[in-house]
Structure 1
């Protein structure tokens, strides 16, 4: 259970960070355009990348103490950087404009858009394949599935909440204060997880 919760916490911290993918899901939710397709696509993409990362990283570092150490400290350093970046965003005054009115799009266009937002963003690979994969691969083989399951659960919960909740809470989510609260929580969680990784070394 602790391994599952670790994957859940880390996955949530990475996924909740405001970026192109989250902004796109939010806008589609607010505009009520292909919300189910958009949310499901994000979850499936994350699940595939997380699973591939944990499986690949685990096979590379399981017999290498040096690689394990580098993965742990590299992951911790990345989390510290990401956490501090989230806190830096608290000082910015700009907010996401989620209420842009756009023309209705077809299912294929909506799918192409979410795929581009997800797969053309280098942070997606850093977060899932590299970071989650390296940290997940540092666990025993029997625990890796639990870690990946936790991270995938975080993706399922977050994108479902973001997409389907956007229409109901559009007014609240477009306010600067709401995004600053998310950034503050993301930064704090990442720094706590980074500290935990350092203590395990």
Structure 2
């Protein structure tokens, strides 16, 4: 890519030189100290600092920016990439807004869809709670059997100890699942409120644009 940019710059310089020689145009530039220089041919300093094409009447025909260093070029490319990313994000946001307006004709339709999503999470929470109670009962039964053996001064079999350990893990997993589901429900409610506010703002802007 760097070779291509360099070749393009040399090609442009060649074209400009030919044009200048044929039209009586010369080059003007200022060096690092701000001193003016004129030349009938394009020099390395002119390309380094940037230059003007000046005709016989002393008028600037065109200004050519100075060449960027590799570091400056990298920084400029980074800025360009960031601007392009922001443009893509803005375009994606506009598409999402349009999809929302097309999907929900009014606020009631949006609220219904949001409630259905929350109801689905509530159903998952309810199922997890039922499973959790069942798994906790199983664990309690296993612990009860182990306690009876200990009261009878009998050793607790390894298989029972292992079962208790496995069941504890099952119960802990169910608790973690329930906590994630409850967090997801809280997030869904917050998102729904933000989405509703955004929808109202979009609808208001849409109404204001109508003649």
TM-score by length of 2: 0.24
RCO higher in structure (CA 8 A, sep ≥6): 1
Structure number with higher strand proportion: 2
Please say which structure displays the higher CA radius of gyration.
Answer: 2
TM-score by length of 1: 0.25
